[in-house]
Amino acid sequence: MTMAIERHLATCHACGLLQRLPAGPGHPRAACPRCGADVHARKTNSLQRTWALVVASVLLFLPANLLPIMEVTTLGTPQADTIMSGVVHLLEHGSWPLALVVFFASVVVPLFKILALLLLLITVQRQSAWRPVERTRLYRLTELLGRWSMVDIFVVTVLAALVQAGALAEVRAQAGAVFFGAVVVVTMIAAESFDPRLIWDRLGKETPRHE
């Protein structure tokens, strides 16, 4: 099986045009003749940039879950909630559908993205030929789920804007919301930095060619 990169071919990420890249060492690039976007045989320093972003997201994930994400003041009595304490609070008041949405969007999805990216990085760096189709699907799922983690930030923003009743009730965003928003943004950028074509490079090297 001949890889496209060996024939100096690449697809434009913007318009999908398959085109020939200039021959040369490293990862050559060119401007797409149809839309003008940069076309790369492989994203430059994809693994290094993705590793840096994933490590940053892990460091941000801890304060995002340990620090309060919002503070609710009712009749002058403040109560600060982390993500998990907010989920427990919703469960105690019978709002289990909303509690499940917050738990999955704010805990499960970010953790899944981090673990999925770690798996992809480790297998590519070890030049593994293990289940390339499934790993490619995992990457697509990671890209798809990225934006849904912002549900919790959206809820806090709406509550902070709407619940402003002076001494009766007030909602304020706390430091945890900043860290959580940073986790979401950093993992989204990390997914964009990763080049899924690297998954298939090892397979191309190991597959006998039939000319």
pLDDT digits (tens, 9 = 90+) for 69-117: 887 766 667 778 888 888 888 788 777 887 787 788 888 888 999 999 9
Backbone torsions φ then ψ of 195, nearest 5 degrees: -100, 105
Residue with tokens 């982390």: 82
Q: For residues 61 and 56, what is the distance between their CA atoms, to the nearest angstrom?
A: 9
Question: For 121-146, b where at least 16 C-beta lie within 10 A, e where not — what string?
Answer: bebbeeeebeebeebeebbeebeebb
User: Residue 159 is which amino acid?
Assistant: L
CATH class of 45-206: mainly alpha
Which of 191, 197, 151, 183 has its CA nearest to residue 67? 183
Report the largest interatomic distance among the alpha carbons of the chain, rounded to a whole angstrom.
Answer: 79
Residues 43-72 pLDDT 10s = 888 999 999 999 999 999 999 999 998 877
Which of 59, 68, 18 has its CA nearest to residue 41? 18
Mean pLDDT of 135-146: 88
Angle 163-169-174 from CA coordinates, rounded to 5° = 70
Domain with CATH 1.20.140 in the chain: 45-206
